[in-house]
Amino acid sequence: MYDKLAKIALEMRSKAYAPYSHFTVGVALLARSGEVYEGTNIENASFGATICAERVAISRAIIEGENTFEAIAIAGAKEGEEVLKPCYPCGICVQTLSEFFDADTKVILVEGDSYTVRNFSEIAPATFGKEDL
Ligand code: THU
């Protein structure tokens, strides 16, 4: 399954709308239901309005009624270039994902033809959450 998610993440890079950074990101988010939600980055001329691939995917999943997740695969690199190193989720995405992810939700970081698998808690050891309110 991780192989499949990594492959989808790589494929999704081709759907990116990234005319400003020319950095294309694809993600594949696996919900506990077994459904996979795809995402890619969507930039904006007002740069701050850009949406990262991770938040596109989780938004698509949430509106389908999903709220628990097994894994997310992320693949990002300069447009037209291979993914040679891990693309970590940005701080805003970590915070967004933390609302729905468990400590052991897997983050699959695509790297070349392979990937590394990390627990979400390794990427985000501590985040602000509902228990802090
Ligand atoms: N980006 C993502 O979509 N996800 C990440 O994990 C890192 C960054 C996007 C935002 C922007 O469109 C481009 O990559 C460069 O920052």
* pLDDT tens readout for residues 50-84: 999 999 999 999 999 999 999 999 999 999 999 99
Domain with 51, as residue range(s), is 2-132
Pocket of ligand 1 (CB under 6 A): 18, 21, 23, 25, 41, 43, 50, 52-54, 74, 76, 87, 89-90, 93
pLDDT score, position 80: 96
pLDDT score, position 17: 98
CATH number of 104's domain = 3.40.140.10
List Cα–Cα distances, 115 to 14, 34, 46, 86, 108, in angstroms.
19, 20, 33, 8, 6
pLDDT score, position 103: 97
pTM check: above 0.85: yes
Structural domain count, the chain: 1
The alpha carbon of 107 and the centre of ligand 1 are apart by a number of angstroms equal to 16
The alpha carbon of 87 and the centre of ligand 1 are apart by a number of angstroms equal to 9
pLDDT score, position 102: 96
Q: If DSSP codes are grouped into helix, strand and coil, which group holds residue 26? A: strand
* Residue 115 pLDDT class (50, 70, 90 cuts): very high
